[in-house]
């Protein structure tokens, strides 16, 4: 029942066994032991499992691991620079207090980076609409919206 897939994860090529029905999020968490990607629901609603696949934000609970074969996956562990310098969006979340318990944060940051990279202008209303697929229970989104706007400016700088 097993099958082998080869893909790039955070810049490194990995070849691992997967089952045909294994979700990408479980491959990331259980097989690769990259536990920064979280599972917050079972209906593809909360966005805690958001990663990048070939540079686009994807809810990794809505995709099979096998579908990621040959693709480049970036998780929250792969976002900062190799020397540990935080990505501008990570830095913005910290300086704006855009996180509290931290559970939704990896998915929120990955969504925010995708928003900036692929969707033009970022006024408050646009940021709020774009984050509709990521649920946070702690922050009331107020500081997350500020962080995304600040992170967007830093990414363009």
Do residues 118 and 110 lie in contact, with contact meaning Cβ atoms separated by under 8 Å?
no
Q: Does 77 bind another protein (CB under 8 A)?
A: yes
Q: How far is the CB of 7 from another protein (least distance, A)?
A: 18
Q: Does 39 bind another protein (CB under 8 A)?
A: yes
CA distance linking residue 89 with residue 20, whole number of Å: 34
Check binding of 140 to another protein (CB under 8 A): yes
When asked if residue 11 is in the footprint of another protein (CB under 8 A), the reply is no
| Least CB distance to another protein at residue 109 (A) | 7
CB of 85 to another protein, least distance (A): 11
Report, in Å, the least distance between residue 137 CB and another protein. 5
Q: For another protein, which stretch binds (CB under 8 A), given 1-9, 34-42, 63-71, 114-122?
A: 34-42
Closer of 63 and 104 to another protein (Cβ)? 104
- The smaller minimum CB distance to another protein, of residues 75 and 150, is found at 75
Contact between 92 and 147 under an 8 Å Cβ cutoff? The reply is yes
Contacts of 24 (CB under 8 A, 6+ apart): 51, 53, 58, 60, 61, 63, 64, 65, 67, 68, 73
Residue 3 lies near another protein (rule: CB under 8 A): no
Three-class SS state of 114 = helix
Sequence-ordered strand ranges (E) for 56-147: 56-59, 72-74
Q: Which tokens sit at 157? A: 């700088």
Separation of alpha carbons 157 and 154, rounded Å: 5
Binding interface with another protein (CB under 8 A): 29, 33-43, 45-46, 48, 75-77, 79-80, 86, 90, 93-95, 97, 99-106, 109, 124-125, 127-129, 131-132, 134-145
């Amino acid at each position: 029942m097993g099958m082998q897939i080869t893909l790039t994860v955070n810049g490194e090529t990995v070849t691992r066994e997967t089952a045909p029905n294994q979700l990408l999020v479980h491959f990331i968490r259980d097989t690769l032991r990259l536990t920064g990607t979280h599972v917050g629901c079972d209906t593809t609603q909360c966005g805690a499992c958001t990663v990048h696949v070939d540079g686009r934000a994807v809810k990794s609970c809505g995709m099979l691991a096998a579908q990621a074969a040959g693709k480049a996956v970036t998780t929250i562990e792969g976002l900062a620079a190799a020397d540990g310098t935080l990505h501008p969006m990570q830095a913005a979340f910290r300086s704006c207090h855009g996180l509290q318990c931290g559970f939704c944060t990896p998915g929120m940051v990955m969504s925010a980076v995708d928003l900036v990279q692929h969707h033009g202008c970022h006024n408050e209303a646009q940021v709020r609409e774009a984050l509709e697929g990521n649920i946070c229970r702690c922050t009331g989104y107020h500081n997350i919206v500020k962080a995304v706007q600040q992170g967007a400016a830093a990414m363009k700088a």
